[in-house]
Amino acid sequence: MEADAVSALGSGLGPAFAAACRCILDTAGRVVVTGMGKSGHIAGKIAATLASTGTPAFFVHPGEASHGDMGMITASDCVIALSNSGSTHEILTLLPLIKRLGIPLISMTGSDTSELAQAADVHLLASVETEACPLNLAPTSSTTAALVMGDALAIAILEARGFTAEEFAFSHPGGALGKRLLLRVADVMVSGSDIPTITPTAVLADAIFEMTHKGLGMTTVASDDRQLLGIFTDGDLRRAVENGTDLRATPLTEAMTAEPRAIHQELLAAEAMALMERHQISALVVVDDQNRILGIVTLLALLKAGLS
């Protein structure tokens, strides 16, 4: 029944939906969403979705609005009011106050002849034939339809604003998506004196000492002006030992990996992880445009930062 209600909802969209979108886009302040009971829960979710997709919005309980919270609504805002019947007393009580503020009112009801629908500047019809409740009483299909209508508004407005994934991440900095879209290589790389570095004139034993001291399982090989010449990793060390190489006499240049993969510090940390996974390596050297060493980013550091 709920699936049928959602399917039917699409065929009813028309000029009113576009008008509601324009109304929200033209709002200089915030979008205030209100509803009572189950509609109130849906209203809260719609406000949250709008806020996270580039439209400042918040939920106001209509009962509390009558007892002081109307002060949260300003003359630069607009109101979206949800009521399946369109006759919810707590919302109708607010209509004169909304009209006095002179702000747009968008209603979302199941009846376009209801008092709330008639009072609104824009009315969105979210009617259903029957509730999924066997008694046809508990708000089920009607709340689902209202939720879908709210999501449709939010996504249409998101597209109209040209809202980007990076902007979305700024609203979700604590989540996995936020980390993937905001965290840069510079935020997680090892830098300064913590970078394992050795000169090309060193022998393998010197490289082992530097790797052990810095604890990254590798060392960079650099010129005097910090130009990246190569890297020596624990994998290179294992191969040298298996081949019976004299660690105290063999020049590092004979065992190092020349022209290793590197990355720039302004790139996303997620790009660094993808590069490591693609080439099955556990560390990348961070360089500037002149190929000078700026740092090291490791797979372990990315995992600790919450990337996966």
Report the SS3 class of residue 110: coil
Contact 78, 23 (CB under 8 A): yes
Last residue of a domain, one of 163, 197, 219: 163
Q: Look at residues 11, 24, 40 and name the one whose alpha carbon lies nearest to residue 158.
A: 24
Determine the Cα–Cα distance for residues 105 and 74; give it in Å rounded to an integer: 13
Question: What is the extent of the structural domain holding 268?
Answer: 185-304
The reply to whether 159 and 192 lie within a common domain is no
Residues 167-203: pLDDT tens digits? 666 665 555 566 666 788 999 999 999 999 999 999 9
Segment 244-263 mean pLDDT:
92
225, part of any domain: yes
Determine the Cα–Cα distance for residues 9 and 83; give it in Å rounded to an integer: 16
DSSP per residue, 25-93: HT-SS-EEEEE-THHHHHHHHHHHHHHHTT--EEE--HHHHTTTGGGG--TT-EEEEE-SSS--HHHHT
Q: Provide CB contacts within 8 A for 78, sequence distance 6+.
A: 23, 24, 27, 29, 31, 32, 103, 104, 105, 106
Segment 233-257 mean pLDDT:
91
Question: How high is the pLDDT of residue 172?
Answer: 57
* Average pLDDT of the chain to the nearest whole number: 91
CATH of the domain at 157: 3.40.50.10490
Last residue of a domain, one of 109, 128, 163: 163
Contact 260, 233 (CB under 8 A): no
Q: Quick check: 80 pLDDT over 60?
A: yes
The reply to whether 126 and 252 lie within a common domain is no
133, part of any domain: yes
Phi, psi of 42 (to 5 degrees): -65, -40
The reply to whether 79 and 217 lie within a common domain is no
170, part of any domain: no
Question: How high is the pLDDT of residue 104?
Answer: 97
CATH of the domain at 295: 3.10.580.10
Residue written as token pair 């693609």: 278
Confidence of residue 165 (pLDDT cuts 50, 70, 90): low
Confidence of residue 52 (pLDDT cuts 50, 70, 90): confident
Rounded alpha-carbon distances, angstroms, from residue 268 to 137, 199, 228, 236, 265: 51, 30, 21, 28, 8
Give me the percent of the chain exceeding a pLDDT of 90.
75
The reply to whether 9 and 157 lie within a common domain is yes
The reply to whether 37 and 131 lie within a common domain is yes
Confidence of residue 74 (pLDDT cuts 50, 70, 90): very high
The reply to whether 154 and 201 lie within a common domain is no
173, part of any domain: no
Structural domain total, the chain? 2
Report the SS3 class of residue 280: coil
The reply to whether 144 and 105 lie within a common domain is yes
172, part of any domain: no
Determine the Cα–Cα distance for residues 280 and 201; give it in Å rounded to an integer: 28
The reply to whether 157 and 217 lie within a common domain is no
239, part of any domain: yes
Question: How high is the pLDDT of residue 183?
Answer: 83
Determine the Cα–Cα distance for residues 53 and 161; give it in Å rounded to an integer: 9
Last residue of a domain, one of 115, 130, 163: 163
Compute and round to an integer the Cα radius of gyration of the chain.
Answer: 30
The reply to whether 78 and 134 lie within a common domain is yes
Residues 265-277: pLDDT tens digits? 999 888 898 999 9
Segment 39-51 mean pLDDT:
96
Q: Is the pTM of this model over 0.75?
A: no
The reply to whether 36 and 73 lie within a common domain is yes
Question: How high is the pLDDT of residue 163?
Answer: 77
Confidence of residue 303 (pLDDT cuts 50, 70, 90): confident
The reply to whether 118 and 6 lie within a common domain is yes
180, part of any domain: no
Confidence of residue 206 (pLDDT cuts 50, 70, 90): very high
Question: How high is the pLDDT of residue 305?
Answer: 83
Phi, psi of 248 (to 5 degrees): -90, -10
Segment 85-100 mean pLDDT:
95
Residues 106-115: pLDDT tens digits? 999 999 999 9
The reply to whether 112 and 213 lie within a common domain is no
168, part of any domain: no
Question: How high is the pLDDT of residue 304?
Answer: 86
Residues 13-41: pLDDT tens digits? 889 999 999 999 999 999 999 999 999 99
Segment 42-52 mean pLDDT:
95
Question: How high is the pLDDT of residue 103?
Answer: 96
